[in-house]
Amino acid sequence: MRPALLLLLGLWSGTLAVPRLAAAQAAGAALTQGVRAYDDLEFEQAAGLLRHALAVQGSGALSGADVSRALIYLTATELLRDRRDSARAIARRLVLMNPRFRPDELVFPPQLLLLYEVVRRATPAVIGEASADTAIRPGSEAMVVRLYASSVHDIAATLVALDGHVVRTLYRGPIGDSLVVPWNGLDSAGTNPPPTGAYALTVSSFNRDGRVVRILRMPVEVLPSPTDTLPHPPPPADSMLLPERQPIGPALRVLAPGVLAGVGVAVLPGLVARGEQPSGARFAVGATVTLASIAAFLSHRPGRQIPANVAHNRVIRDWRRAVADVARRNAEQGRGLIGVRTGVPVILTPGGTGP
């Protein structure tokens, strides 16, 4: 019974795992076979295999570099199959996906290189890169966004709020191969950083007619100044301060009964036995009680230092001082800083505007 269960479990897990693995291998293998078919001039087969490789989605999909490779091979295949429109559309897709891509001149024929160059020039697009998470001091420091263009064209880079209003125009002008766009962390007035929150860096690409044909949109989040860059010292096992001197309360608590009893011995007999003169024997008891309570009071040694507690408290005070020092240094370091976090950029094509 047990081996049968194990076998069933193995088959079940294999059933779950194999298709995913197979898909990943299939996309890569299809790309490899497609490239081989292209090299063998089997264009029909190459096109099918390359399209199949590109169609795989999810975890088994091709990597970004492989997608670019598959697309350029597919462009070349379609071109060599004399399907220029299809080749042009695929090349355009490649430009939009990766504006920095350039086909290898040693691998692809000149007509492919020419076609891709024509498409690239006719497809203005920009991709950007920035630090995923950084902190700057507004006004004196800047975060930079590197823009890479598919071709020379005009762009406008702006930081916009989610409601659409422009926070700061960062650049407006031509871009060649690449461009570094800095942002000093201030708003359009140049005086204050924008409030913390979500923003977007948009880079609009213009065609020769001055129309926006592409928009790069990169999420930007402005964060409060990062704090606690220095770690706090570890707390001691017990962070409660202890009394350093013997408290007087317990001593008074043992003194009070004796003193009260002593006073009672002197006063109460006269109240109870009116008209009589109580004997002096009562003072023997009163003195005994009072002396015993004084001895008890002194045995508590009120006000005397407790060395163990003094040492314990010294450790805690040192720790608290260190924590305060770290907090102060963190505050100094964090003063005036803002955090900037960027997300993954996407390229948008406004409807009906671009080639």
Partner 1 sequence: MTRQLRFACAALFSALTLTPQLRAQSRWTVSFGASGASEILHSRLGTAQARLSGSQFGGEALATRGRFAARLRYGQGHVTSDTAARDVVQGEALVGYKARSWLGLWLGPRARTFVAPGLSDRRWLFWSGGVTARGAIFPGYLDSFVEMWQGFSGTLNRPASSASGRGVDLGVEARLPKRRWWVRLAYHIDQGRANDSHRDTVEGLALTVGRGDLISSAALQRSREYPPSSESPCAEGAGRRAQ
Report in angstroms how near the CB of residue 246 gets to partner 1 at its nearest: 16
Nearest residue (CB) to partner 1, 217 versus 282: 282
Nearest residue (CB) to partner 1, 33 versus 293: 293
The pair of three-digit structure tokens given for residue 284, joined into one six-digit string: 């023997």
Q: Do 233 and 322 meet the contact criterion of CB atoms below 8 Å apart?
A: yes
Nearest residue (CB) to partner 1, 80 versus 255: 255
Report in angstroms how near the CB of residue 291 gets to partner 1 at its nearest: 10
What Cα–Cα distance (Å) separates residue 270 from each residue in 228, 284, 290, 330? 73, 16, 19, 73
Report in angstroms how near the CB of residue 247 gets to partner 1 at its nearest: 15
Phi and psi at 127, nearest 5°, equal -120, 150
- The residue with tokens 């962390």 is 185
Nearest residue (CB) to partner 1, 267 versus 324: 267
Report in angstroms how near the CB of residue 254 gets to partner 1 at its nearest: 5
With 0-12 CB in 10 A as exposed, 13-18 as middle and 19+ as buried, what is 69?
buried
Q: Which residue in 143, 144, 135, 142 sits closest to 196, CA to CA?
A: 135
Question: 88-93: long-range contacts at Cβ-Cβ below 8 A with a sequence spacing of 24 or more?
Answer: 88/115, 88/119, 91/115, 91/116, 91/119, 91/120, 92/119, 92/123, 92/355
Cα 227 from Cα 224, distance rounded (Å): 9
Nearest residue (CB) to partner 1, 260 versus 308: 260
Q: Do 220 and 131 meet the contact criterion of CB atoms below 8 Å apart?
A: no
The pair of three-digit structure tokens given for residue 330, joined into one six-digit string: 């963190």
Nearest residue (CB) to partner 1, 1 versus 271: 271
Report in angstroms how near the CB of residue 273 gets to partner 1 at its nearest: 5
Eight-class DSSP state of 141: B
Nearest residue (CB) to partner 1, 17 versus 256: 256
Alpha helices in 98-214, H assignment, sequence order: 110-122
Report in angstroms how near the CB of residue 302 gets to partner 1 at its nearest: 15
Nearest residue (CB) to partner 1, 182 versus 257: 257
Report in angstroms how near the CB of residue 290 gets to partner 1 at its nearest: 9
Report in angstroms how near the CB of residue 312 gets to partner 1 at its nearest: 24
Nearest residue (CB) to partner 1, 145 versus 261: 261
Q: Cα 270 vs. chain centroid, distance in angstroms?
A: 84
Report in angstroms how near the CB of residue 282 gets to partner 1 at its nearest: 4
With 0-12 CB in 10 A as exposed, 13-18 as middle and 19+ as buried, what is 42?
middle
* Site residues (vs partner 1, CB under 8 A): 253-254, 256-258, 260-261, 264-265, 268-269, 271-276, 278-279, 281-282, 284-286, 288-289, 292-293, 296, 299
Q: Is 210 left (phi over 0), alpha (psi -120 to 50) or beta?
A: left
